[in-house]
Amino acid sequence: MADRFILTFAKLICDFPDEIKLSRVDVDETFSEITLSVNPADTGKLIGKNGKMISSIKSFISGCKAKEGRSYRLMIHSNES
């Protein structure tokens, strides 16, 4: 649920939505790492001014933890094309 939301949300706010790649690694039964690879020009848009955008996304992920019982770590990387 969280990974689908993040991918959909990122595609809506980024200038290069076709370059977005999401990968999810389930570390164990209760923890997953989500990595979002985006165009370098879109990295700032996802982080936001003073980190407010990424903080909002992480707040949503916290809600998913309450519902699904799974913790998430979100990482954003810029594609080095």
Confidence of residue 66 (pLDDT cuts 50, 70, 90): confident
Structure confidence by residue, pLDDT tens digits, 9-48:
999 999 999 999 999 999 998 999 999 999 999 999 999 8
For tokens 């939505």, the residue is 17
Residue 27 structural domain: 2-78
pLDDT for 81: 55
Structure confidence by residue, pLDDT tens digits, 52-65:
999 988 888 888 87
CATH number for position 34: 3.30.300.20
Report the greatest alpha carbon distance in the chain: 37
Q: Rounded CA gap, 79 and 57, in Å?
A: 20
Q: Is 15 helix (H, G, I), strand (E, B) or coil?
A: coil
Picking from 77, 76, 78, 74, the residue whose alpha carbon sits closest to that of residue 34 is 74
Number of folded domains in the chain? 1
66-32-29-67 Cα dihedral, nearest 10 degrees: 20
